[in-house]
Amino acid sequence: MKFAFIIDPIARLDPGHDSSVALMEAAQVLGHEVWITQFTQLGVTAGQAMATLQPVTLTPVTLGGGDQSAPEGQRWEAVPNWYQLGESVYQPLDTMDAVFMRTDPPVTVPYLYTTYVLDYVDPNKTLVINSPAGLRAANEKMYALQFTEAIPETIVSRDKQVIRDTVHRWGKAVLKPLGGKAGEGILFLADGDPNLNSMVEISTHQGLEPVMIQTYLPEAKDGDKRVILLNGEPIGAVNRIPTGSEFRGNMAVGGRVAKVAVTERDREISQQLAPRLRQDGLIFVGIDIIGGYLTEVNVTSPTGIREIDRLDGVQLGYQVIKWAVDAIKALGKG
Ligand SMILES: Nc1ncnc2c1ncn2[C@@H]1O[C@H](COP(=O)(O)OP(=O)(O)O)[C@@H](O)[C@H]1O
Ligand SMILES: [Mg+2]
């Protein structure tokens, strides 16, 4: 089968960390063709979504450093020229069996335009993961708000007084820009902080942009758990533990990754999300859970596969590709 991946420029990807590379590698090893493109290289001609697609061949990463019995000390190693590109061709995207939309956030207006282009991929011929309508429906911060039983106390507002009153009530809170990722712009707020007004002004762009204010979960110091969901089912998890004086657990800001189990509570949360995720075509999703509370639903380009594979000795990318192959067969192709 043919798998296309809409990714950021491949030279900028980190083969030992990025889930997109894990997925591409899995597709190749399972005997499929792997093609890449970027969200800037898509268009529509005669009602068909088109893309400049380039075939790619990967040299899979291998585990190195540390010994086999201590996976925490090991890391994925890639050869310097870990990908080889073929000739680009501008062709309809529905010549592919599956398209993975894996452009990194932020979700900008050009990103949203790309989802409209992806609406012109024939769903009877090609599986798009995640669904373009689902990507539009699910702001990564706001989507969680509908699962009221699963989330900590949370408000969304751009009003300084509302935010101040809330922080006063809770004592401690976390502020999140609605379009952020990888810990960017996440602030710890404390009642009485002399910088509180100023932080709210900066984050809301003087009251123009709403932000999320969430009650501070002290369990965050023990980790922010990433659970990977495939069609609503948890298939693996990794913990990210803040290091040093940093309160954020994100890997991008130095969070330490550690092996962690999928708990009963994680399954319960996943079950609450599953029907909605399936309805929205959100097949490959990463949810964040702190102290048993859902804090974020990542749908654009969730990460975590490489870390879970290394710590748990599994191959989640293979599971995702095999799921896609079955779904493609169910379309009556393949
Ligand atoms: N309610 C909270 N209480 C304490 N810490 C939090 C809370 N929400 C998020 N954090 C911390 O901030 C980090 C980033 O938050 P998150 O909502 O996952 O946004 P993103 O990962 O998109 O930047 C988390 O990894 C966690 O360490
Ligand atoms: Mg997060």
Average pLDDT over residues 120-146: 97
Q: Is the pLDDT of residue 217 over 90?
A: yes
Q: What is the pLDDT of residues 5-50, one digit of tens each?
A: 999 999 999 999 999 999 999 999 999 999 999 999 999 999 999 9
pTM of the model: 0.96
Q: Is the pLDDT of residue 69 over 70?
A: no
Average pLDDT over residues 109-119: 97
With bands split at pLDDT 50, 70 and 90, how would you rate the model's confidence at 72?
confident
Is residue 193 included in any domain, yes or no? Answer: yes
In the chain, the number of structural domains is 3
Is residue 235 included in any domain, yes or no? Answer: yes
Are 31 and 89 in the same domain?
yes
Ligand 1 interacting residues, C-beta cut-off 6 A: 152, 174, 176, 180-184, 186, 214, 216-217, 220, 224, 240, 242, 248-250, 288, 290, 295-296
Task: Say what the pLDDT of residue 244 is.
Answer: 86
Is residue 93 included in any domain, yes or no? Answer: yes
- Residue in 186, 256, 257, 294 to alter for ligand 1 test, most ligand atoms within 8 A of Cβ: 186
Q: Is the pLDDT of residue 333 over 60?
A: yes
Are 268 and 226 in the same domain?
yes
Are 100 and 157 in the same domain?
no
- Residue in 295, 296, 307 to alter for ligand 1 test, most ligand atoms within 8 A of Cβ: 295
Are 22 and 120 in the same domain?
yes
Is residue 42 included in any domain, yes or no? Answer: yes
The mean pLDDT value of the chain amounts to 96
Alpha-carbon distance values, 87 to 6, 10, 158, 260 (Å): 16, 15, 49, 42
Task: Say what the pLDDT of residue 332 is.
Answer: 80
Q: What type of residue sits at position 302? A: P
Kindly identify the ligand whose nearest atom is closest to the C-alpha of 184: 1
Are 84 and 121 in the same domain?
yes
Are 228 and 198 in the same domain?
no
Task: Say what the pLDDT of residue 295 is.
Answer: 97
Average pLDDT over residues 167-178: 98
Kindly identify the ligand whose nearest atom is closest to the C-alpha of 252: 1
CATH of the domain at 184: 3.30.1490.20
Is residue 168 included in any domain, yes or no? Answer: yes
CATH of the domain at 82: 3.40.50.20
Is residue 304 included in any domain, yes or no? Answer: no
Task: Say what the pLDDT of residue 65 is.
Answer: 79
Closest Cα partner for 42 from 117, 128, 130?
A: 117
With bands split at pLDDT 50, 70 and 90, how would you rate the model's confidence at 113?
very high
With bands split at pLDDT 50, 70 and 90, how would you rate the model's confidence at 321?
very high
Task: Say what the pLDDT of residue 68 is.
Answer: 61
Q: Is the pLDDT of residue 248 over 80?
A: yes
Q: How far is the CA of 296 from the centre of ligand 2 (A)?
A: 6
Task: Say what the pLDDT of residue 114 is.
Answer: 97
- Residue in 250, 294, 300 to alter for ligand 1 test, most ligand atoms within 8 A of Cβ: 250
Name the β-bridge partners of 237.
227
Name the β-bridge partners of 99.
4, 128
Q: Is the pLDDT of residue 168 over 60?
A: yes
Q: What is the pLDDT of residues 265-282, one digit of tens each?
A: 999 999 999 999 999 999
Q: Is the pLDDT of residue 214 over 90?
A: yes
Please tell me the distance from the alpha carbon of residue 295 to that of residue 143, in angstroms, as a whole number: 10
Q: How far is the CA of 245 from the centre of ligand 1 (A)?
A: 15
Q: Is the pLDDT of residue 67 over 80?
A: no
- Domain range for 186 is 153-216
- Taking the CA atoms of residue 245, residue 246, residue 249 and residue 250 in that order, the dihedral angle to the nearest 10 degrees is -140
| Enzyme catalytic residues | 141, 176, 226, 240, 248, 288, 296, 298
Query: Over the chain, what HEC string results?
Result: CEEEEECCCHHHCCCCCCHHHHHHHHHHHCCCEEEEECHHHEEEECCEEEEEEEEEEECCCEEECCCCCCHHHCEEECCCCCEEECCCEEEEHHHCCEEEECCCCCCCHHHHHHHHHHCCCCCCCCEEECCHHHHHHCCCCHHHHHCCCCCCCEEEECCHHHHHHHHHHHCEEEEEECCCCCCCCCEEEECCCCCHHHHHHHHCCCCCCCEEEEECCHHHHHCEEEEEEECCEEEEEEEEECCCCCCCCCHHHCCEEEECCCCHHHHHHHHHHHHHHHHCCCCEEEEEEECCEEEEEECCCCCCHHHHHHHHCCCHHHHHHHHHHHHHHHCCCC
Please tell me the distance from the alpha carbon of residue 102 to that of residue 297, in angstroms, as a whole number: 15
